[in-house]
Amino acid sequence: MGQLSDRINRLAASATFAMAQKSAELSAKGVDVVNMSVGEPDFNTPDYVKQAAKKAIDDNFSRYSPVPGYLSLRKAIVEKLKKENNLSYTESQILVSTGAKQAICNALMALVGQGDEVILPSPCWVSYPEMVKMADGTPVVIKSTIQQDFKISAEQLEAAITPKTKAVMLCSPSNPTGSVYTKEELASLAAVIAKHPDIYVISDEIYEHINFIGEHYSLAQFPEIFDRVIVVNGVSKAYAMTGWRIGFIAGAEWIIKACNKLQGQYTSGTCSVAQKAAEAAFLGPQDDVEAMRKVFQRRRDLIVDLARKVPGFEVNNPQGAFYLFPKIDSYFGKKYQDRTINTAEDLAMFLLEVGHVATVGGTAFGSPECIRFSYATSDDKIREAFKRVTSALELLK
């Protein structure tokens, strides 16, 4: 085998997809696994969205799309941001990409260079530190604990800022903790950022609509920092469209132009048919989004109740997204047959191989004392999973 680049060698593989694959491999061997690893809605894409995609195929939307996305889609996004978030953008301040994943990567690649620091409130999504490293930047992690409901304070943010800080990434509602920053908490973070005019914010709002405390707030809503906030969003979570691969950023035109240049060399405009589907999603009736949100809230109540009954689990009450991130380190040092549980990953593997429940260990999210359950699955499966988890954990002595 030849020599790979340093860039690829220092990159960690996605822990979420790795666990999803392990779960699929076990299922393929005939084992009945409850998969709570990867985070994606278990619902189908709404019918009106599917119809729009079928029509787009018949209407021959089959050629290269403009690099930043169809104008009609960008108009629909401008309208969405105005109506739902009270944010004013023009179409030239929007760039549509292959999922929010590429949208975030574009923004980091455009802004961050060698030696630049990017602040990551942690626990955070597994891909953030890796994306920062791909952009040659240095991730600077601010740790938050379950006692803080996994949210950082303004003081912690201030203390992490150095002359090398280029950007702060914030995800609310959060993957993996489900925490949602209140308007007041965001205001205190915005006040810190306002004092540092060279710092940019990447505000990942992909779970915007899966929020159990009411209205969604964005850091972009604070006028003193609006120009320096890049809003990231998409259709994957709200409209159950993970496979369609449509995400976007909204931000200052010079940043969008830079991302457009990058995307023009890297992927071109994203899938034409998926863009027409996303346009329909944004412009259509939003009843499905609310219906799915309600189901997620009911499941949140169920999983929190079940997880609180598991001996040795410490559980917060997530206010959004579809993840539970219990603290499980009370099991460290315990044994079953020839296994010893030393890490969250050991516990996740034990739960998969012995309990047949797939989760993700917390280390890749920056919390080696936690594991993540995705509850984007049916109530019955959640109940079954916790029966299995409880029985499996009883084996650990």
- Which residues of this chain interact with ligand GLU, rule CB under 6 A? 14, 16-17, 38-40, 125-127, 175
* Residue 40 Cβ vs ligand PMP, minimum distance, rounded to whole Å: 7
Q: Which of 242, 286, 297, 390 binds ligand PMP (CB under 6 A)?
A: 242
d(CA 263, CA 127): 19
Q: Does 206 bind ligand PMP (CB under 6 A)?
A: yes
247 binds, among ligand PMP, ligand GLU, none (CB under 5 to 8 A by kind): ligand PMP
Q: Which of 176, 269 has the CB closer to ligand GLU?
A: 176
Residue 86 DSSP one-character state: -
Q: Is the dihedral of CA 356, 361, 365, 367 positive or negative?
A: positive
| Closest distance to ligand GLU from the beta carbon of 281 (Å) | 18
Query: Can you tell me which residue has the tokens 């012995």?
Result: 354
Contact residues for 6 (Cβ-Cβ < 8 A; gap 6+): none
Minimum distance between the CB of residue 93 and ligand GLU, rounded to whole angstroms? Answer: 25
Instruction: Tell me the residue nearest to ligand GLU as measured from the CB.
Output: 39
CB atoms within 10 A of CB 253: 13
Give yes or no for residue 111 binding ligand PMP (CB under 6 A).
no
19, 22, 34, 39: residue in contact with ligand PMP (rule CB under 6 A): 39
Helix (H, G, I), strand (E, B) or coil at 360: strand
* Residues 250, 89 contacting (CB under 8 angstroms): yes
Question: Considering the complex, what minimum distance in angstroms separates the CB of residue 352 from ligand GLU?
Answer: 15
| Residue 38 structure tokens | 């990867």
Which is nearer to ligand GLU, 175 or 233 (by Cβ)? 175
Say whether residue 251 binds ligand PMP (CB under 6 A).
no
- State which of residues 34, 52, 87, 100 lies at the interface with ligand PMP (CB under 6 A): 100
Q: Give per-residue burial for 205-218: e unless 16+ CB within 10 Å, then b.
A: bbbbbbbbeeebbb
Instruction: Tell me which residue has its CB nearest to ligand PMP.
Output: 99
Work out the number of other CB atoms within 10 angstroms of the CB of residue 345. 18
Q: Is 247 in the site for ligand PMP (CB under 6 A)?
A: yes
CA distance linking residue 342 with residue 339, whole number of Å: 9
User: CA 262, CA 268: separation in Å to the nearest integer?
Assistant: 9
Instruction: Give kind and range of the element (H or E) at residue 209.
Output: none
Q: Which residue, 206 or 256, is less far from ligand PMP as judged by CB?
A: 206
The one segment of 3-11, 137-145, 234-242, 277-285 that binds ligand PMP by CB under 6 A: 234-242
Does 204 engage in binding with ligand PMP (CB under 6 A)? yes
Q: How distant is the alpha carbon of residue 311 from its chain centre? A: 29
Chain residues binding ligand PMP by CB under 6 A are: 39, 99-101, 125, 171, 175, 204, 206, 234, 236, 242, 247
